[in-house]
A and B are shown apart, each in its own frame.
Chain A
Amino acid sequence: MFNNSSKILFLSVMMTGTLITVTSNSWLGAWMGLEINLLSFIPLMSDDSNNFKSSEASLKYFLTQALASTVLLFAVIILMLKNHLNNDINETFTSTIILSSLLLKSGAAPFHFWFPNLMEGMTWMNALMLMTWQKIAPLMLISYLNMSNFLLVSVILSVMVGALGGLNQTSLRKLMAFSSINHLGWMLSALMISESIWLTYFMFYSFLSLVLTFMFNNFKLYHLNQLFSWFTNSKILKFTLFMNFLSLGGLPPFLGFFPKWVLIQELTFYSQYFQLFILMMSTLITLFFYLRICYSAFMLNYYEINWVKTLQTQNFSMNFYLTMSFFSIFGLFLISMFYFTL
């Protein structure tokens, strides 16, 4: 991915766009940052020139984001007109429009339909960027709006769509997409409580996604049955991979539970029991299908395609992966010990 100098340019511009959005103090500046981000991400997405699917994905991404940006710009202009060029956002319907466009940009539930489609046509590294980095700007902008009602609808729909959508998936990228939608629900919920919890959640989620995606990218894993057959000659890799899966799902002894734990405590503190209930129940469903995958992988052995490939460890930095897996699996213990010593 980094063998092309143009990619360095686009990547840095893309990051700059996000930073402009995050740091701007006017809606126009934020919009500008989003546009810069979008326009530099498009060439990154279509780097795999042999694959028409990635071109299609980049086109879809462009259309969606352009529409969202247009609506955002439109709503911002209306807002400014009504409030005499003031940045006051207490206007209900205008800010609902802004919120809708930002949710569309981030891929949250009622406006998420482009997201799994898009993921299907991307390489893993691009998918990782889409799942993590591309969420920063819209989520940051959402945090400026204090619209809890519509956001709550989005939270509930996101977690449910994420949970139900992943249930029948055999494509890993779609699975990760729905998992991302589910996590996005949690993140939006965290946004409603406080920004620092959102930040914690986002960082942990990004880390866990990174570990998994790194693995998938190295071994070019795109479907579930590859998981079952690939690691038959390395039990440790198989085991850690599925531990990471469970960690991403948020099973308690692993690191993925930590941000959820924090959020659960905060939601309980603010008596948001209904919301919490829905969040947890939907996460149970995601955990269920992660566990189902792990169960099949641990208990079943597919020998049919064992002859295809042996493990390619030459271009794979095992140490890096295992170190990250260590934090992903034992991170919760480490954090507990860290707080215990404090």
Chain B
Amino acid sequence: MKYLSICSISFFNLISISIIFFLCSLYFLLNNLVYFIEWEVVSLNSTSIVMTFLFDWMSLLFMSFVLMIASLVIFYSKEYMSGDININRFIMLVLMFVLSMMLLIISPNLISILLGWDGLGLVSYCLVIYFQNVKSYNAGMLTALSNRIGDVALLLAIAWMLNYGSWNYIFYLEMMQSESEMMIIGSLVMLAAMTKSAQIPFSSWLPAAMAAPTPVSALVHSSTLVTAGIYLLIRFNMLLVNSWLGQLLLLLSGLTMFMAGLGANFEFDLKKIIALSTLSQLGLMMSILSMGFYKLAFFHLLTHALFKALLFMCAGAIIHNMNNSQDIRLMGGLSIHMPLSSACFNVSNLALCGMPFLAGFYSKDMILEIVMISNINIFSFFLYFFSTGLTVCYSLRLVYYSMTGDLNCGSLNMLNDESWVMLRGMLGLLVMSIIGGSMLNWLIFPVPYMICLPIYMKLLTLFVCIFGGIFGYLISVMNLYSLNKSLKFYKISSFLGSMWFMPYMSTYGIIFYPLNYGQMVVKSFDQGWSEYFGGQHLYNKLVNYSSTLFLIHNNNLKIYLLLFVIWVLILLNFLLFM
């Protein structure tokens, strides 16, 4: 049974498909090939609904990454979820999730993309509520409903796309770029992408979705669910460049990056910190995408997927060891007790910060340098670089809390590296998050970007990172007499630490008045006037009539007989005298 568990079988299948796709993508990349497979489902009045598959190097490479990460995550889950009786359901859900992602990646058609898109939404709901408790249920509802906004936007876009007679958007984007209808479609698609990638008005679901099991977080936050929005906009990139859509998206995604970076510095939940860092990186991808550099966004998407999956897997191992506690204040000194996991954790953290020659460095550094040579206003520039600093800041804070010092957890707690199954999954990704950046760099950009910068600007990124790191260390240093400075500015820090109040706004903010009015309506109509004038009133009236009727019934028989005789006499009277 060891080799025939659902985890092992899925792992081998997925990893082999992943390798095949990777080789295919290399072939496609070398020969500059694009395969386009179309199956007409139904054709009506010159409008045809088709199932379309687009195979180019981008979709193949993305699929191979998704499959690789999914396979490792499933391998990892074999150990992580081993005590769970519903592990089969769990693995099947993950497989369905991956399948939805595949469908999304290879569809250049709005209708067929909706298949994967809705699949992601549904399965992500099932995965978030996997641990069936109230908290997961709430998180799942928030996730599902936030994503539903995007689904609706996509449906509206499909309706608008009917104008063109086909939903194969890639044929129309360039041609119809300047039309106002196309701009409407573009804005709807952008809305959909923003919900899926948790950009600013819709950010609150991403940390909430941490209620899912950790392997799911590793999969969702690295390469699947949240990157679906980015990938969709990569395909729709034509519409963002040189239009107000792109400018709006640049602003919102820059703010998302900034907000998430600040929020992560106030957070004490291990998984939420990582979730917020994902949000910050998503903002980075979105913003570079909105400036038109879709290849760079894709590049960062892939490298980020590698180290973020690793980071979550390490977090899962740590959480296992901490008796399912996620509070980083209870951690400490983990580098001594679980060295291999800590090594992975640190590598992925440093890759996230953009430590030179790790995976994140290539993409992030290039993005920032491209930003510097582009035409960009000072505000966006500030958001880019301040957020980069913040990334290093919260990463170092995380390392400081969890890796250094003494263990702050309860007594009688044994720490060790997890078993080899989990470690193998992590080590596979460790290699990828070290070499992945340079490898992809050489693959995707056969011709290097020409970047020409003065020395002080070239060093700006490095300076910001170092400064952020120092700052991150300084704000988290604690000793016996230290005073929590954030409590002095409590209003500001609670604003920044709660994602700019977005979780409240997208839950209570939306439902507060409808719920209140609903209560009033129920109270005054359903259980008030309509009850009084409807059922109850009718019933009381009928009972009253019934009682009145019995006033007549409660008489002697002679009266009735007499009444009958009188009635007959009246009739007789008519009979005789008319």
A contact set with B: CB distance below 8 Å: 60, 63-64, 67-68, 71, 78, 93-94, 96-97, 100-101, 104, 111, 113-114, 116-117, 161, 164-165, 167-168, 285
Contacts and interface: CB of A to CB of B under 8 A. Distances in A.
Which of A97, A100, A113, A285: most chain B CB closer than 10 A?
A113
B561 A116 contact: no
Interface in B539-578: 542-543, 545-547, 549-550, 552-553, 555, 557, 560-561, 564-565, 567-568, 571-572, 574-575, 578
Contacts of B546: 164-165, 167-168
A93 B561 contact: no
B549 A165 contact: yes
A285 B541 CA distance: 12
A168 B557 contact: no
Contacts of A71: 564-565, 568
Which of A68, A94, A97, A161: most chain B CB closer than 10 A?
A97
Given A168-B543, A285-B542, A63 B561 contact: yes
Contact of A113 (B543, B553, B565): B553
B429 to A, nearest CB: 60
Interface in B346-362: none
A60 B560 CA distance: 11
Nearest to A164: B546
Nearest to A78: B575
B560 A113 contact: yes
B571 A161 contact: no
A117 B571 contact: no
Given A71-B564, A113-B557, A168-B547, 20 more contacts: A63-B557, A64-B560, A67-B561, A67-B565, A78-B575, A94-B575, A97-B572, A101-B568, A104-B564, A113-B552, A113-B553, A114-B557, A117-B557, A161-B549, A165-B549, A165-B550, A165-B553, A167-B546, A168-B543, A285-B542
Which of A96, A116, A164: most chain B CB closer than 10 A?
A164
How would you classify the secondary structure of chain A's contact residues: helix, strand, loop or mixed?
A: helix
How would you classify the secondary structure of chain B's contact residues: helix, strand, loop or mixed?
A: helix
Given A161-B549, A164-B549, A64 B561 contact: yes
Which of A93, A100, A116, A165: most chain B CB closer than 10 A?
A93
Contacts of A94: 575
Contacts of B572: 93, 97
Contacts of B571: 93, 96-97, 100
Contacts of A114: 557, 560
Contacts, number: 60
B543 A167 contact: yes
Contacts of B567: 100
B573 to A, nearest CB: 9
Contacts of A100: 564, 567-568, 571
Contacts of B550: 165, 168
Contacts of B553: 113, 116-117, 165
A93 B571 CA distance: 6
Contact of A111 (B543, B545, B564): B564
A100 B550 CA distance: 22
Interface string B259-281: 00000000000000000000000
Which of B542, B547, B571, B572: most chain A CB closer than 10 A?
B571
Contacts of B557: 60, 63-64, 113-114, 117
- Nearest first, the 10 closest Cβ-Cβ pairs linking A and B are A93-B575, A113-B560, A167-B546, A164-B546, A168-B546, A97-B571, A93-B574, A164-B545, A164-B549, A93-B571
Interface string B229-251: 00000000000000000000000
Contacts of A64: 557, 560-561
Contacts of A78: 575
B551 to A, nearest CB: 12
A93 B561 CA distance: 20
Contacts of A60: 557
Contact of B564 (A67, A117, A161, A285): A67
B139 to A, nearest CB: 38
A143 to B, nearest CB: 21
B485 to A, nearest CB: 63
16 contacts: A60-B557, A63-B557, A64-B561, A68-B564, A71-B568, A96-B571, A97-B568, A97-B572, A104-B564, A113-B552, A114-B560, A117-B553, A164-B542, A164-B545, A168-B546, A168-B550
Contacts of B574: 93
A167 B560 contact: no
Given A93-B571, A94-B575, A167 B542 contact: yes
Contacts of B564: 67-68, 71, 100, 104, 111
B366 to A, nearest CB: 72
B29 to A, nearest CB: 68
A94 B575 CA distance: 7
Contacts of A167: 542-543, 546
Contacts of B542: 164, 167, 285
